[in-house]
Amino acid sequence: MKKIAILTGAGMSVESGLSTFRGGGGLWDEYPVEQVATPEGFAADPALVLEFYNKRRRQLLDVQPNEGHRLVAALEKANNVTVITQNVDDLHERAGSTNVIHLHGELMKVCSSRSPYDARMVQTLTPDNLDIHIGDKAVDGSQLRPFIVWFGEAVPMMDAAVAAMHNIDMFIIIGTSLNVYPAAGLLNYVPHGVPVYLIDPNEVSVGSNMRSVTAIRKGASEGMREIMEKYIR
């Protein structure tokens, strides 16, 4: 049984029909990041921010995990797999992955605007109760906000992600530009001699610290098929 860590980004969910945030046609082209993904933006116009994430949740209900998600989940049949994702969707879980670390939060959850990472204040929304409005309160009486790690906020699950890199036998990176820190810094925790596979149709710079990265210039599903056929024994 191999211990495998997998880092996924927005490119993992593109084949399911979810928009990326970066790149041409990404969500940041439509909504300035400062308005909808910062504490300052929420303070300035909470109604706009709440509706932005309400729309994202409605979109999420209309999509399904793709083959890439399902192949990642299938690795669990004979391996110890941890998925570390920059995505806020729940497609890994819906595909069957059971050990998922969400670095940037979870779209289907909301929390206290006073204490965003107090687990006692986190609520999971249901398909028939997706929208959050001004006046909806957390247990502590504060306005509910998306359970999302916004720009300028700490990444509370980063320690768990680093711990998951300990003694791994393989590291797979899927659909991320490796431009967002601290997630991109997980490369620094890959043990010496451990193979690294990077699945992305675009060229991705991994910096000078990695001596050997096998680049698979394909989408998530096609790339995972190659991983399963060539590198999983």
Q: Which residue has the tokens 């998306």?
A: 146
Sheet containing 144-148: give its strands across: 123-124, 105-112, 144-148
Half-sphere exposure of 35 (CA within 13 A, CB side): 12
- Tokens representing residue 112 in the block: 């206290």
Q: Which residue in 104, 133, 166, 192 is the catalytic one?
A: 104
Whether residue 92 lies in the annotated active site: no
Task: Return the beta strands (E) in the chain as ranges.
Answer: 3-8, 80-85, 100-102, 105-112, 123-124, 144-148, 170-174, 196-199, 214-216
Residues tagged active-site: 104
